[in-house]
Chains A and B, each alone.
Chain A
Amino acid sequence: MSSQKFFDRLKVQLLFSGPTLFAFFTVVILPFLYGIYLTFTNWDGVSTSHSFVGMKNYLAVLDDAAFWTSLYKTMKYVLLTVILINVVGFFLAYMLTTEIRAKNLFRAGFFTPNLIGGIILGFLWQFIFSNVLVYIGEHFKIGIFSSSWLADPDKAFWTLVIVTTWQYSGYMMVIYIAGLMNIPKELLEAASIDGANAFVRLRKIILPLMVPSFIVCVFLSLQRGFMVYDLNIALTNGGPYKSTQLVSMYVYQKAFLSQKYGAGQAEAFVLFLIVAIVTLIQVYVSKKREVEA
């Protein structure tokens, strides 16, 4: 009887969670663990055998100046985009939760870039930066636009920041709108009656109550920032002169184009550690600041 019951339970467990868990373990967990093993080998992607090289790949990571440059640029990119995406996203959400007509139209418009993939948006903006803006610059004698931003290392980096902000701020706006609509109206009215102006209400009531939304949005924009690849390859393709090669693209090229799989995977693993640490710190710090609503 009891073994019958055990098999019944096992059947239910396997039937319900079997397919998901099988896919999850073979697609996420197994490659992740195998990836850690790969970092200790010198596999080149072609040969059938590879040998154990110990910590050599990790030591090579330390020596790989180009990797650290791209990581530094990625950090700078993440920092700037997280700030800009959330400032713009919150600002738009704040404006759209006031009394205003055609809210839905504005909201739908700001969200539109999120429906379209980074590859397509990247090519779209490549055309704008290298053709439209250059034309405007020459035609109306605006100095900063007169040569393509994509041809200048510093400006090319900023095109990535600008397009990313444009791309994701509408997404965060939607999340902020949901948060703002949850703030009790009575609270804001009571504050108004007590003489708090819009700025005081924003600082003393809205912002503290919005902390949960900020946690979610900062988390999402951090993750997307670190993992950016499509936009990078379509908009700047790492150029000019590899100056805008962010870490994801760098690792990709190292592994698949230079065929240094072990070394590439070691760098990918370093990236994983950094993302994990940054995200955990972010969640920990912001949870501490959360207030009871």
Chain B
Amino acid sequence: MNVSKTLTKFVRYIVLVIFFCLYILPFILVVLNSLKERTEIISNPLSMPKSFNLANYFSAMEKMNFAHSFMNSLIITVFSVALITIFSAMTAYVFVRVQNKLNKFLFFLMVASMIIPFQAIMIPLVQIYGSIGFLNSKWALIYMYIGFGASLAVFIYHGLIKSIPLELEEAAMIDGASRLQIFFQVVFPLLKPTTMTIVILNVLWIWNDFLLPSLVLIKPEERTLPLSTFYFFGTYSVDYGLLMAGLVVTIIPVIIVYLFTQRHIIQGVMNGSIK
């Protein structure tokens, strides 16, 4: 009995370790090859780099206009996510607290709209905003993210706000607080765990999004990281060492943030799925 138990445990470990390698090895291979020269990579992509050469990194960062695209991605993600959370929480609040036919309908419409694939909207979206000259700006993109991100955030907040007892707000109301004060001082702090979830889901989406920014941000100086990676690969398609270094510099910031926030991220994804 005991022997078979130890054996199953051992087999389990082996299986998990094999899977772990499959998930991590691709990243390690990229790092290894980013330190090599093109000829070294072609002769053997599995070999250890001969020297610790960072030249590819500097070159890739310069050619991708890395610092600039990184800042673009950061600005777009921070503003979009902050506005999505605040606006959606406020909307969900009014949907829960003011239950009339209009609000019920609007809530239903937002939930139902989640089924629309982005591809069914992108062509008219570009047409409408192109014709009023509203493309090619970070702010236009942030505005669109609010529109696309609101439904899910309102839906998740709605479920939680329903469970907040009204008495808490009534006490503040008696003290003469306005609706806005009540919301920001009483309700919004109570939503913190859910806000974390919404922030995480939206950061993962917006930081990595490609299709929408590729349609909206056409000017090179507005490019986000996924966009500049894409054009970078198009331009230097055979210079493998350089390309791999480009991937490493885009992946590393994410991994560093992940190392510190790993538990929160996984918790956020768990909470986001329970509806």
Taking Cβ atoms with an 8 Å cutoff, the residues of A that contact B are 9, 12-13, 15-17, 19-21, 23-32, 34-35, 38, 43, 45, 92, 95-96, 98-100, 104, 106-120, 123-125, 127-128, 131-132, 135-136, 166, 170-171, 174-175, 177-178, 213, 216-217, 220, 223, 226-227, 229-230, 233-234, 247-248, 251-252, 255-256, 261, 264-265, 268-269, 271-272, 275-276, 279-280
Q: Which residues of A contact B46 (CB under 8 A)?
A: 132, 135-136
Complex Cα–Cα for A90 and B232 (A): 37
Q: Which residues of B contact A135 (CB under 8 A)?
A: 44-46
Complex Cα–Cα for A111 and B261 (A): 13
Complex Cα–Cα for A124 and B19 (A): 18
Would you give 28 A-B contacts (Cβ < 8 Å), ordered by A?
Answer: A16-B93, A20-B150, A20-B154, A27-B144, A28-B116, A31-B128, A32-B113, A38-B124, A95-B15, A95-B16, A100-B12, A104-B263, A106-B16, A106-B20, A108-B258, A108-B266, A112-B255, A112-B258, A119-B229, A127-B45, A174-B269, A223-B117, A227-B117, A251-B119, A265-B124, A268-B120, A271-B120, A275-B115
Q: Report whether A128 and B29 are in contact in the complex, using a CB–CB cutoff of 8 Å.
A: yes
Q: Report whether A24 and B150 are in contact in the complex, using a CB–CB cutoff of 8 Å.
A: yes
Which listed residue, B27, B183, B210, B263, touches A112 by the CB 8 Å rule? B27
Complex Cα–Cα for A108 and B267 (A): 11
Q: Report whether B211 and A31 are in contact in the complex, using a CB–CB cutoff of 8 Å.
A: no
Q: Report whether B150 and A117 are in contact in the complex, using a CB–CB cutoff of 8 Å.
A: no
Q: Which residues of B contact A177 (CB under 8 A)?
A: 270
Q: Report whether A234 and B233 are in contact in the complex, using a CB–CB cutoff of 8 Å.
A: yes
Complex Cα–Cα for A123 and B227 (A): 13
CB distance from B39 to the nearest CB of A (A): 13
Q: Report whether B115 and A27 are in contact in the complex, using a CB–CB cutoff of 8 Å.
A: no
Determine the residue in chain B with the shortest Cβ distance to A278.
Answer: B115
Q: Which residues of B contact A252 (CB under 8 A)?
A: 119, 122, 211
Determine whether B74 belongs to the interface, using a CB cutoff of 8 Å to chain A. Answer: no
Q: Report whether B209 and A117 are in contact in the complex, using a CB–CB cutoff of 8 Å.
A: yes
CB distance from A26 to the nearest CB of B (A): 7
Q: Which residues of A contact B274 (CB under 8 A)?
A: 178, 216
Q: Report whether A21 and B210 are in contact in the complex, using a CB–CB cutoff of 8 Å.
A: no
Q: Which residues of A contact B12 (CB under 8 A)?
A: 95, 98, 100
Q: Report whether B123 and A265 are in contact in the complex, using a CB–CB cutoff of 8 Å.
A: yes
Complex Cα–Cα for A32 and B124 (A): 7
Q: What 0/1 readout, one digit per residue, does chain B (104-135) give for beta carbons within 8 Å of chain A?
A: 00100110010111111111111110000000
Given A23-B87, A124-B27, 20 more pairs with CB closer than 8 A: A16-B183, A20-B90, A21-B91, A21-B106, A23-B144, A24-B151, A32-B113, A32-B120, A117-B207, A127-B244, A128-B29, A166-B22, A174-B269, A174-B273, A175-B270, A178-B274, A216-B274, A227-B118, A268-B119, A271-B120
Determine whether B251 belongs to the interface, using a CB cutoff of 8 Å to chain A. Answer: yes
Complex Cα–Cα for A114 and B269 (A): 11
Complex Cα–Cα for A220 and B152 (A): 13
